[in-house]
Amino acid sequence: MGDPVTTGIVMSAVSTAVGAVQAKSQARAQQRAQQAATNRQVQARRMEQQRREKEMREQAKRNQATARASFGARGVSSTGGSANALLQGIQADTDDAIADDRRALDFNIESLRENQRAQQRLNLLETRNSILNSVIGTGGKVLSSIDAPAKGTGHADQITW
């Protein structure tokens, strides 16, 4: 076999490369898991928003039906004048509330996605730092093994008188 120092250097380099590949693979898997979790949260929040929107529209219809019944009991037509304005106001208030709810959801989703992107950047930096530290550690071992004299031979560049 070859020189023990060279063999050690090669083994250390191979170990560092394998570690780097594993770290990158783990980072990708973690990124996919975070993306999937964020997507599930977004989907759940959208479904909840749709449920609230449906509930708001149904409540508006009930409020309008109650108002129409009240107008009818008083003998007032609900198709014109202030009665109609009241019914349209109920619908407008509902539409405004739904629009506000959608804007809040959009902001919430963007916040989730921004947090995910920030976490991805942090994970990338941590992975790169880990790989860099491994490479530096391996480089230090290589340099120290090159600088170390072989046992019993001394340094070739030393001059003896």
How many other C-beta atoms lie within 10 A of the C-beta of residue 94?
Answer: 19
Name the band, by pLDDT with cuts 50, 70 and 90, for residue 102: very high
- Which helix (H) or strand (E) element contains residue 121? helix 81-147
Q: Give the model confidence (pLDDT) of 5-27 as tens digits.
A: 667 667 777 777 777 777 778 87
- Sign (positive or negative) of CA dihedral 49, 54, 55, 59: positive
Q: Give the model confidence (pLDDT) of 31-85 as tens digits.
A: 888 899 999 999 999 999 999 999 999 999 999 999 999 988 888 887 888 888 9
* Whole-model pTM over 0.85: no
